[in-house]
A and B are shown apart, each in its own frame.
Chain A
Amino acid sequence: MTDAAELRTRAEELLAAHPPATTDRTTFLKARFDAGLAWVHYPKGLGGLDAPRSLQAVVDAVLNAADAPDNDPRRIGIGLGMAAPTILAYGSEEVKERFLRPLWVGDEVWCQLFSEPGAGSDLAALGTRAVRDGDDWVVSGQKVWTSSAHVARWAILIARTDPDLPKHRGITYFICDMTDPGVEVRPLRQITGEAEFNEVFLSGVRIPDAHRLGEVGEGWKVAQTTLMNERVSIGGSRIPREGGMIGPVTQTWRERPELRTHDLHQRLLTLWVEAEVARLAGERLRQQLVAGQPGPEGSGMKLAFARLNQEISGLEVELRGEEGLLYDDWTMRRPELVDFTGRDAGYRYLRSKGNSIEGGTSEVLLNIVAERVLGLPSEPRNDKDIAWKDLAR
């Protein structure tokens, strides 16, 4: 059993052997992974120590205090939050050893080839085909809205392996090599003018069977692990008061008395209270996790933050009055990261529209809360026993 004291000692040993001030970032991260201090709840040899998840906080505290370099969850979010737990649960030993270390260190960025033009909320309706050919699978189809596809080395991919079965049963889960000649990534210019996202065209992409996660036809079950972790990873971190989008607008209010009106005052106060309450609810969720009582609140946090981000940034554009009529830059760029704080209010307003769509729309999340948290009955379905190829499209 690994306890807090032992982890503290290990973290101090890591710092002594690789002083952050004189060690380059990647070297430090690799050493941290090898010391089992990357994600302590992972198995030994895979960046962890089989310790309780809650003890990660102990390690983080020691390393933060020493100003040690950390990995960048914004850059490697999909790999860290979604691919890794799925690989851990379903990958062979070789797959785990091959992929987890470069993923965590940030040497290899991941993307998620799930959504398709015809399958968004109804993800299980996807049509990208994977056909067996000897030791390989040959994949063809089109994915869309793929964040980071232009910088990703690897992708998690779901594809249809049997169109004659009902939609949930004919899907298989793969790891796709983004450098395969059959993968074409095209920027998808979005509402903000830039292209954070991509369309991905797959034509005759070859994937070795060794890069399949889970059994053939069990891809939907595997995808559930990915999607569950997507929701858990949102809202888990501790933010200070005024740490989110409410920060910049409140600062503007304080610094620019000439912009104030009574109507805006009332709305700002309401949103300030709601942002603070959402922050407290996130903190309560975190305390529950640490106390070993994981609650369903996580699915709620994404809903709350999506609405708040949209309302707050909308208010901010209005508060700026004349300036709110302007936009900072419409240049078509392909950024690697979302830059919420480096850009103007108008950018925040437009980009936050995606917060209620990405990772499941707010409508779909409300269904999930209603059914899985409140236990309300599901709606009648007419797609359960029909072969995928016979579904309405």
Chain B
Amino acid sequence: MTKAPTRSTQPDLLYSEAEDDLRAAVRSLLTDRADTAALLTRAEAGTPYDAGLWKALAADMGAAGLLVPEKLGGQGASHREAAVVLEELGRQVTPAPYLTSSVIATEVLLALDTETPEVADLLAALASGRTVAVLAVPLSASPYGPLAAGESRVPGVADAAAADVFLVLRSDGLYAVEAGEVGVEAQTPLDLTRPLAAVTVPGTAAATRLADSDAAEAAVRRGLLAGAGLLASEQLGVAEWCLEETVRHTRERHQFNRPIGSFQALKHRMAQLWLEVVSARAAVRNAADALATDSPEAALAVAIAQAYTSRVAVHAAEECVQLHAGIGMTWEHPAHLHLKRAKSDSIALGTAGSHKEALAELVDIEAP
């Protein structure tokens, strides 16, 4: 009889003072520079990214290099700090290639032989925020499914339009391909704040080989796992904003000569949501800490955080729209942006169901 694994050391589930400071800095940058109206205008024009904002966040603030050790040109911080940045980006549904470049692509490269100059140079460029790299897989790719190597057209690649470099998995290894060599065909995304494109890499494209196929596959899986783990923090940020805005709105809005927030039918729904958000925070902190400490339980912690938080973010966003009612259905109000982000996040990097299946194996709860 097998027992579920238990870890010996306790995870640190709180935020450090440095993390609180980082949060404050990112939040003030985003409130100054990424308001909803501007975001909508850019998204409608088909150019959702704000290059100045990316430079301020990724380069000036150093957020792009949080996961990269100092000797490789980064900040030498960890997943705990990157998770805080993602919480804030989630709150504001900011279009920025942070998850794709600073987390997933960076994590893939870190899992390779960083002594190789090609890998080291690219990592340093990503860490500086000057270069954006995107792993050429669909946003829906899960860390557990089969990895399609060498496909010529890859649909649903997130942030492809912002990429300078693509990481491309071919049957004989992993390659870096400059954006100029690649066909990028924009798709219409459900989530306007995270653009998707079909990426075609011609067989003739000039490419730099980074790793052989075994190392490549392991690195890509690690990138997707860390991405899924930190995506949960973004989902927490989305949920938190939705709850806060809903509470604020229902305190101010009057119907029947009362603030609607005094109706118990609404209060209970928000209290329930609060409980879910508080619980999700523990789960996502656990995942970020497990990734940061390279815990043997990292895969389990990520699966738990994803299986739980995906649902919470969608629930929060759906409640946000419903309790705002008419105004929540309008294009001007940001609620729809959060709903779209929450819903597409629930498919990104593995659905809650796929994470639960992975977990079933990890804790020995076998299917019939």
Are B367 and A265 within 8 A (Cβ)?
Answer: yes
Q: Which of A287, A371, A380 contacts B14 (CB 8 A)?
A: A287
Q: Does A240 contact B (CB under 8 A)?
A: yes
Interface members, chain A 280-296 (any B CB < 8 Å): 280-281, 283-284, 287-288, 291, 293
> How distant is B155 from chain A, measured CB to nearest CB, in Å?
29
Hey, which chain B residues are within 8 Å of A384, CB to CB?
A: none
Hey, which chain A residues are within 8 Å of B363, CB to CB?
A: 250, 272
> How distant is A289 from chain B, measured CB to nearest CB, in Å?
11
Q: Does A366 contact B (CB under 8 A)?
A: yes
| Given A273-B304, A280-B282, A375-B247, A363-B268 contact (CB < 8 Å) | yes
Q: Which of A269, A377, A378 contacts B359 (CB 8 A)?
A: A269
| Given A283-B13, A284-B13, A250-B304 contact (CB < 8 Å) | no
Q: How far is the CA of A194 from the CA of B364 in the complex (A)?
A: 36
Q: How far is the CA of A257 from the CA of B2 in the complex (A)?
A: 14
| Given A272-B365, A280-B13, A287-B12, A366-B268 contact (CB < 8 Å) | yes
Are A370 and B267 within 8 A (Cβ)?
Answer: yes
Are B278 and A297 within 8 A (Cβ)?
Answer: yes
| Given A257-B366, A269-B359, A376-B250 contact (CB < 8 Å) | yes
Q: Does A386 contact B (CB under 8 A)?
A: no
Q: Does A74 contact B (CB under 8 A)?
A: no
Hey, which chain A residues are within 8 Å of B350, CB to CB?
A: none
Q: How far is the CA of A266 from the CA of B354 in the complex (A)?
A: 11
Q: Which residue of B lies closest to A243 (CB)?
A: B6
Q: Which of B6, B262, B285, B364 contacts A380 (CB 8 A)?
A: B262
Are B359 and A366 within 8 A (Cβ)?
Answer: no
Q: How far is the CA of A186 from the CA of B368 in the complex (A)?
A: 49
Q: Does A64 contact B (CB under 8 A)?
A: no
| Given A261-B368, A277-B304, A281-B278, A242-B4 contact (CB < 8 Å) | yes
Are A367 and B356 within 8 A (Cβ)?
Answer: no
| Given A254-B365, A376-B250, A377-B262, A284-B281 contact (CB < 8 Å) | yes
Q: Which residue of B lies closest to A293 (CB)?
A: B14
Q: Which residue of A lies closest to B268 (CB)?
A: A366
Q: Which of B6, B259, B268 contacts A241 (CB 8 A)?
A: B6
Q: Does B127 contact A (CB under 8 A)?
A: no
Interface members, chain B 52-110 (any A CB < 8 Å): none
Q: Which of B251, B281, B307 contacts A273 (CB 8 A)?
A: B307
Hey, which chain A residues are within 8 Å of B280, CB to CB?
A: 277
Q: Does A276 contact B (CB under 8 A)?
A: yes
| Given A254-B1, A280-B286, A274-B258 contact (CB < 8 Å) | no
Q: Does A185 contact B (CB under 8 A)?
A: no
> Can you identify 22 A-B contacts, CB atoms within 8 angstroms?
A250-B4, A254-B1, A254-B366, A257-B366, A265-B368, A268-B365, A269-B359, A280-B13, A280-B286, A281-B278, A283-B13, A287-B14, A288-B14, A300-B275, A304-B279, A367-B271, A374-B247, A374-B270, A376-B250, A376-B262, A377-B258, A379-B263
**Complex A-B, nearest 7 residue pairs according to Cβ-Cβ distance, in ascending order:** A370-B267, A260-B368, A369-B271, A280-B282, A377-B262, A284-B13, A281-B282
Not counting A265-B368, A273-B304, A304-B279, a sample of 15 additional A-B residue pairs whose C-beta atoms are within 8 angstroms of each other reads A250-B4, A257-B366, A262-B367, A265-B360, A269-B359, A272-B365, A276-B283, A277-B279, A284-B281, A288-B14, A366-B271, A366-B272, A367-B267, A369-B274, A376-B262
Residues of A in contact with B (beta carbons under 8 Å apart)? 240-242, 250, 253-255, 257, 260-262, 265-266, 268-270, 272-274, 276-278, 280-281, 283-284, 287-288, 291, 293, 297, 300, 303-304, 363, 366-367, 369-371, 373-380
